[in-house]
Amino acid sequence: DAVIAAVTAQNRFARRVNMEVASHTALMDPVLPELREALADLAPNVATIPFLSTVVDPTTEPLLDAAYWADNVRRPVRFSQAITTAAQDYGTFIEISPHPVLTNAVSDTLKSTPHRSIETLHRDTDDTLTFHTQLNTTQPPQTEHDAEPHTLIPTTPWHRTNHWMAARKKLHGAVSAPSPGTLLGTHIGVAGQSPTHLWQALLMSQGKPYPGSHRVDGLEIVPLSVLLQTLSSAAAKLGASNVGDVRFERPIFIDRPQVIQVVADDQSIMVSSAPDIDTPVQRWVKHVSARISSESEAHRDHSDHLGDDVPHGYDAASLSELQHAWGIEGRPYPWSIDSSSSTPGRLHVDVNVPKASTVALLDAAINLGRLVDSSNPALMVPADAEGVHFAADLTDGQGSIDVRRRSGDGNELVVDIAVTGSNGETCIDVRGLRYVDVESRSPAAPLDADPRTSAHAIAWQPWDAADVGQAPTDAPGTIAVLGEDDSARVLRDRLSSVGYSSADVDEAKCVLYVAGPGPGGETDLDYAVRVSKEVADLVRRLVERADRYPATMWIVTRGVREAASDAALRQSCLWGVAGVIGAEQPQLWGGLVDIADDEDIVDCAPALSTILASSAKSILALRGGEFLASSLVPIAGEPVREPLRCHSDAAYLITGGMGVLGLLMAGWLADRGARRLILAGRTPLPPRRDWDGDIDDADVRHRIAAIRALERRGVAVDAVALDVGSREQVEALLARRDADGAPLIRGVIHAAGLTEGQLLTELDEARLHSTMWPKIAGARVLHEAFPPTSLDFFYLTASAGTVFGIAGQGAYAAGNAYLDCLARARHRQGGHTVSLDWVAWKGLGFGSDAQVVVQELARLGSRPITPDEAFTAWEFVDRHDISQALMAPMHTAQADPSAAAELAPVREWAQLSSEDLHAELENGLVAILANELRTSEDAVQVDLPFAEMGLNSVMAMSIRRAVEQLVGLELSVTMLWNHPTIASFAGYLAKQLVPDDDTAADGDAADDSSVLDSLFDSIETT
């Protein structure tokens, strides 16, 4: 210390070097004899490449024996001599190490000698990028060239294009950095009926509002203490000291300049950010939200004894070790632990901060609060808090933190934290702070995530039956052709001429339903209800046929692929029904064939005759004598339009606009400049004069809060009660707006929808009509009210279930298939109309809590989509010339529904005797049921009905898939209930695997429709 002080006094650098062993000094002498003895048996070879030693004279060739290695730890290091000797023959020095240690020393040694000193890796950088960058620098600076003359080659054509750097955002009023300890910047007054405050600041890494650093996995993140202090300061400006319902939705990364906005009114506070660059679309991201409360809170007494358990404590070193293991580096504020004591569920810590700072003490509290659960080693971060009370400021550098565990296990931890000053007065009281496991928390999609992994186009590729294991048959059988017009009769006669024999529906081996144009005057909705009911009844009729008389069912439509006519648009509903038939009754499903609108059905008969006796199990298009099948492909081609930008002088209509997804879409349009929104829903909101009263319905409160949040952003919201399927109501709305001189509607999002899970065999007209009404009737009314070229955009929110086929979605899929076809029809007419086939939105809307939907998506290689992923993909699709897109997080190579359903039998069942076969199947079913019911195999009874075992619809789906893999057969979705015990189900499977005419009929076959209703009514869909 004295030496350091003396050197420092001369304005020179000096520091203590932390070393455990003083090598190269006399202190090493006592260990040298033992070292020489341990290395005495070394038999070194002579070096075959130049070796310059830092132990002996570099010009000599040393022998690496025991004496050499003893000298290595005792003698001075001849570093400068070795480097100088090497520089006589070499000019490039490469240090191989994880971080440069000697590179600067080489440069200092060779100051007057031309050379290059190169590192290989560098701390806190990408290893691969750094290594290859340094590798490139090792090449000679001057490339040798052949002697003249050189071959002349043409010069490069000069293509004059502009490449402008992104301009900095022109900040109006936000010219300051955040104030210390918060994200509050320049205050801007906002005009409105209620007082609204806006603080805007420019956040940059060079001007962080805290003195230290807070890096998680190498990324600097605004600490939670600063976010809470921001809420505290904003609330104080409004005369409040409490905030509740705090939600930490997304961390704020300080990796690039950002504009931070803090918006507060008398009810809530919201913290958002946007990149500090000028772009056509300003995308604001919400990070934190909270509800403001001015009521004083009752506080606990935190001075009681910790309890009878023997306490143990924490120190700064143990905390640092934990944070290092979690990937956390640095501290936003300096603080230290004076003392601590802990018992199960309780932690008390006395903390010291260099100067009085409430936010520093709060930072310590947030970090220490996690330690109340020392048994869980996982990284856990705060997700939300019930409430935070900010009281007196800290008066000196001393404070105490008391943490009590409320509940939580596994992936979450809930605590109460009280922070008090040295005088015992409470500074901060945090209630219900919930920490969650980072690994279990669904990560938010990065803002620059590739949208092509969530948005996919649909292309038509040549299809061959042999490619899917369905070779065309040369032996036509019996056929029944059903249809409402002459096309069915003509096709029946033509198929008879090529070898098929006409038969009744109850006897025909192949049943073909031919869709007709429908009678004049029938609405699209009435047509869809009628033909969907006819097809569902046909499915039920075929399912009820005896197992020994299986049938293959096909559907024929005309012109739906191109949406060539109004008749084709009507028939499109059957495309949705088709996929559901394949999902619910794969054993009888053949497929759907769409023929060209202008092609004579007689000419199609020869091609149809080659596949009808087999099963394509997909939708095919027959064009020019060739079958085509749809497949998912990446969206290709250059964008044809600029990023979406709404006009401030126009209005935009969202049907279903007061639903959870509709309100998100409203915010998305507001982000894109929309300032007048019409949110339409069937259920009216209470009169605005009652909005501040007691409203029991949480959904209504959420809608009101969302509308007010939009209005605080300067968006005029017209929330209207509207049945979009009613032509009269829509026309009345438009007439009223026209009479009032309201701005024209220039964009429409049709998001209205109703889903009700029901199997095709149980469908009735009432449910078909109610489910299809908002989709088909609503879309038709909007189509006629807004011609294709009258809008800047028309988005139709459809379902991915129409593409994949999901059991229980018959009516819903039919309605969404109509939307897909309508988009194609309007696209042909020159309008910017897109049908977006969504999977379930994570935690929102239809399917938000349906396990069966999540399981089916996982089977297809997808999952529910997050809002960030959804809107990023939506913006990508909007710029391309496309009328339909599948919106599902998955790689296109995985997006093959047929591949997900491939089955591989694991046994040669036919080689087993009848008794052994039945026993093996029973054992397999018992194992599957036990696994699904989470019980032992001994507890599963083979004669107990599945319903009495506690089976529900989700379990039934999972069991069905497992049984399909066991036996290598596709099974009906109702198979478990048609054979309601393990014994009867095993008997049925045995007959399917090894058909035997002498086998007795299945026993215990039951048609328990009430059980089906109760089980499958609970299935929610996307």
Residues noted as catalytic: 214, 363
**CA angle, 267 as apex, 262 and 270 as ends, to 5°?**
25
Residue from 854, 898, 816, 767 nearest 577 by CA: 816
DSSP one-letter code for 150: P
Distance CA 469, CA 465 (A): 6
Q: For residue 82, count other CB atoms closer than 10 A to its CB.
A: 20
Residue/partner pairs of 39-42 with CB below 8 Å, 24 or more apart: 39/65, 39/66, 39/69, 39/70, 40/66, 42/66, 42/69
Asked if 888 and 800 count as a contact pair (C-beta separation under 8 A), the reply is yes
Asked if 95 and 101 count as a contact pair (C-beta separation under 8 A), the reply is yes
Residue from 552, 560, 558, 511 nearest 534 by CA: 511
DSSP one-letter code for 44: P
Q: For residue 217, count other CB atoms closer than 10 A to its CB.
A: 11
The beta strands (E) that lie in 395-463 are given as: 398-407, 412-421, 426-437, 455-462
Question: Can you tell me which residue has the tokens 């606009």?
Answer: 657
Asked if 812 and 802 count as a contact pair (C-beta separation under 8 A), the reply is no
Distance CA 1016, CA 758 (A): 6
Tell me the one-letter amino acid at 425: E
Distance CA 679, CA 652 (A): 9
Instruction: Read off the tokens for 925.
Output: 């079913």
Asked if 182 and 226 count as a contact pair (C-beta separation under 8 A), the reply is yes
Distance CA 333, CA 353 (A): 8
CB-based contacts of 773, cutoff 8 Å, min separation 6: 525, 725, 754
Instruction: Read off the tokens for 946.
Output: 């599945």
Distance CA 362, CA 358 (A): 6
Q: Can you say whether the dihedral through the CA atoms of 995, 1000, 1004, 1005 is positive or negative?
A: positive
Gyration radius (Cα) of the chain, Å: 37
Tell me the one-letter amino acid at 664: L
DSSP three-state, residue 572: coil
Distance of CA 610 to the CA centre of its chain: 43
User: Nearest 5°: phi and psi at 588?
Assistant: -115, -5
Distance CA 748, CA 571 (A): 24
Distance CA 873, CA 450 (A): 8
Task: Kindly provide the b/e burial profile for residues 919-956, where b requires at least 16 CB atoms within 10 angstroms of the residue's own CB.
Answer: ebbbebbbebbeebbeeeeeebeeeebbbebebbbbbb
Q: Order across the sheet with 285-293: list the strands.
A: 186-190, 196-203, 258-264, 268-275, 285-293, 242-248, 380-390, 426-437, 412-421, 398-407, 346-352, 336-343
Q: What are the Cα distances from residue 937, in Å, to 723, 915, 949? A: 53, 20, 13
Instruction: Read off the tokens for 1000.
Output: 């007795």
Asked if 435 and 377 count as a contact pair (C-beta separation under 8 A), the reply is no
CA max distance for the chain: 112
Distance of CA 132 to the CA centre of its chain: 33
Instruction: Read off the tokens for 29.
Output: 């002498």
Distance CA 271, CA 226 (A): 12
Residue from 462, 464, 465, 803 nearest 615 by CA: 465
Distance CA 589, CA 160 (A): 58
